[in-house]
Structure 1
Amino acid sequence: MIATLAGAAALLLAGSWFAGEITVRLRRKPPDLQPGAPARDLLLRATDGTAIATTFWPGAEAGAPAVLLLHGLYDSRADFVDHARWLTDEGFAVMAIDFRGHGRSGAAPHSFGWSEALDARAAFDWLRREQRRAPIGVLGVSLGGAAALLGPEGPLPCDALALQAVYPDIRRAARNRVAAFLSRPVAVLLEPLLSYQSIWRFGVRPERLAPIEALARFNRPVLIVGGGADRFTPPEETREMYDAAPGPKELLILEGLDHDETSHVTTDGYRNAILHFFRSTLGAAPRRQKQTT
């Protein structure tokens, strides 16, 4: 019996490590972006040397307010092309990036926002220089929102932050995802085996992977967006994120949408909420003049 239990425990540990390995290594090849003029592709370097592929869309004028777009897990900057179009139509400059281990950026394991914070900071610093220190807002979706908050330097020093479908802490994130596919009792059993892999994989304890704690140190305007049917980041956790923000804040719950739908929403109501938030916090950018024929 002891041998059987030991064997079962070994299989459980091996299986959980394998599951973690798939999660941090999975990479989907995105379509070619081909943004076309006046947009341009750039290759930046994070402070650890990782190559970060980006696309920059200039604003209606030099020094216009800008928005940095940070995608979710397994996505890429290609998922933000429509966002870039309607934001630049409103006069904003826009930059979208591929996180490490995603899209056309350098190969690296995913770290749920910890190392990706270096990628976000490299893009933010470039954008601030390019826009002559104009106001900059950040829209972070799921992984992207965590990257805007985590990392050794803490939250990005942006002027406004929109967080969309962002998990409050990695332990609850792991537990919710396992429960969504298996069951809550199984999730309670497996979660520590998954969460504590962060010590060996990323060099940090899971307690450090807590966007909700980092958000409590961000005093500037925040818009919190969540899905009403999101099982990965349930609405009650989205409201906890809202409650943790100490500065000016807004809350948008998208009723009936799950995590993936919330991460990729494009409805008029959502778009209007994002535009209103960035206009009111970054200043109104001059709208781009439409080309006529």
Structure 2
Amino acid sequence: MKKKKAAGLLGSILLAASSIGVYFSNRLMYMKKKDEKLVLMREAAAGRFDPIQFESLPKREVLIDSPLGYKLKTILVEPHKTNRYIVICHGVTENKMNSVKYMNLFLERGFNAVIYDHRRHGESGGKTTSFGHYEKLDLKAVVDWLKNDKGPDLLLGIHGESMGAATTLLYAGMIEDGADFYIADCPFSDFKELLEYQIKKDVKLPPRLVLPLGDLFLRLRDKYSVKEVSPISVIENIKNPILFIHSQNDKYILPSMTEALYERKPGPKKLFLAAIGGHAQSLNENRTEYEQAVDEFLEECGFRNSNGTS
């Protein structure tokens, strides 16, 4: 009888552990995405996306091969005769149309732009989201394609928001000849640390119980660990300039994470902490200050047009 009870108890514990592991890994791998039409409606209603203006821009759509076996839906926007390009990486649950507001900012500064959908987002392939782990390889594929298409003589920047910012830093930390400059808007410094914070805040369960189980199932199902998604572990590899941006009132990814990245980054760097706005709202709520920070950054790095504009 005791053996049956013990076996039953063990079975219940294993079932509970499996349930936690599956639930946690599902939340990460298959995080619910925003509806594409709703993203467009939201951006248009806020005045950040003008469909007529967007359609009038000279552009072409490209399907870029991911090294992981799917296609990345990419739009190349080229209103200028220039070798100055910016690649823009959107955040988790968003899509390339959320990048249009950043694209417009750089088009006004004489850059051409590349916007694209991350894996499992928008019109790109891929079955899971990995918060930068696999996305950094896709970003490399986009950059490699652009350099092959336009030639190596590019002035290239990469702008990322949230997960896109973490992806940008992870990419920059693994490659020596990536971009000339980077802008990281509200990145996390370490995914494990971020998840611990969010579990405490939202799930109300002890991270020491939930996270190891979830990570075990993530490693089994998607072949990576949350410990591997750590921009701060590679930030010292990045020698080219970075503009770090974060809203001071961000409660989803704390601004202290960006401050830690800024402190650890060697070489040229700049930090802009926006006074108002929540997560990924620095540009939306502080446009004048945001644009000023970008202009000062480009000026300090010497990335000005010959006509004197940034």
TM-score w.r.t. the length of structure 1 is: 0.86
Q: Distance in 2 between matches of 1:177 and 1:198?
A: 17
Superposed CA deviations along residues 240-271 of structure 1, whole A, max 9, x for unmatched, are 11112112111112234332434865622112
Superposed CA deviations along residues 154-205 of structure 1, whole A, max 9, x for unmatched, are 147111111111111121121122222134x633432222334442233233
1:277: Cα distance to partner? 2.2
Secondary structure of the structure 2 residue equivalent to 1:162: strand
Q: Distance in 1 between matches of 2:302 and 2:12?
A: 58
1:43: Cα distance to partner? 1.2
Superposed CA deviations along residues 116-167 of structure 1, whole A, max 9, x for unmatched, are 1121111112223344321101111121122223369814711111111111
1:221 aligns with 2:244: no
1:87: Cα distance to partner? 1.3
Structure-2 change in CA distance of 1:263 and 1:17 (3 Å): farther
Superposed CA deviations along residues 197-237 of structure 1, whole A, max 9, x for unmatched, are 44223323333211111111111111111222223321222
1:143: which partner in 2?
163
Which residue type is aligned with residue 177 of structure 1?
Answer: Q
Deviates more, 1:220-229 or 1:249-258: 249-258
- Gapped regions of structure 2 (runs ≥ 5): 41-48
Q: Is the 8 A contact 2:21 2:216 kept in 1?
A: no
Q: Is the 8 A contact 2:190 2:232 kept in 1?
A: yes
Secondary structure of the structure 2 residue equivalent to 1:216: helix
C-alpha RMSD of matched pairs (Å): 2.8
Q: Is the 8 A contact 2:185 2:280 kept in 1?
A: no
1:89 aligns with 2:129: no
2:20: which partner in 1?
15
Q: Distance in 1 between matches of 2:247 and 2:178?
A: 26
Q: Pick the structure with more helix per residue.
A: 2
1:271 to 268, 286, 291: 291
Moved over 4 A (4+): 262-266
1:291: which partner in 2?
none
1:30: which partner in 2?
36
Secondary structure of the structure 1 residue equivalent to 2:174: coil
1:66 aligns with 2:85: yes
1:125 aligns with 2:144: yes
Structure-2 change in CA distance of 1:89 and 1:151 (3 Å): closer
Superposed CA deviations along residues 17-62 of structure 1, whole A, max 9, x for unmatched, are 2232133123444137974231222211112231001111115213
1:105: Cα distance to partner? 0.4
Across the two proteins, how many residue pairs are aligned to each other?
286
Q: Which structure's CA Rg is the greater one?
A: 2
Deviates more, 1:188-197 or 1:89-98: 188-197
Q: Is the 8 A contact 2:82 2:111 kept in 1?
A: no
TM-score w.r.t. the length of structure 2 is: 0.81
Q: Distance in 1 between matches of 2:285 and 2:214?
A: 29
Q: Distance in 2 between matches of 1:177 and 1:264?
A: 24
Q: Is the 8 A contact 2:58 2:77 kept in 1?
A: yes
Q: Is the 8 A contact 2:91 2:162 kept in 1?
A: yes
> Which structure ranks higher in relative contact order (CA pairs < 8 Å, sequence separation ≥ 6)?
1
- Gapped regions of structure 1 (runs ≥ 5): 288-293
Q: Distance in 2 between matches of 1:232 and 1:83?
A: 21
Q: Distance in 2 between matches of 1:274 and 1:194?
A: 38
Match runs of 1:197-216 below 5 Å: 197-216=217-236
Q: Is the 8 A contact 1:55 1:97 kept in 2?
A: yes
Which residue type is aligned with residue 22 of structure 2?
Answer: W
2:132: which partner in 1?
113
Q: Distance in 2 between matches of 1:271 and 1:196?
A: 43
Q: Is the 8 A contact 1:168 1:212 kept in 2?
A: yes
Which residue type is aligned with residue 158 of structure 2?
Answer: V
Structure-2 change in CA distance of 1:277 and 1:195 (3 Å): farther
1:290: which partner in 2?
none
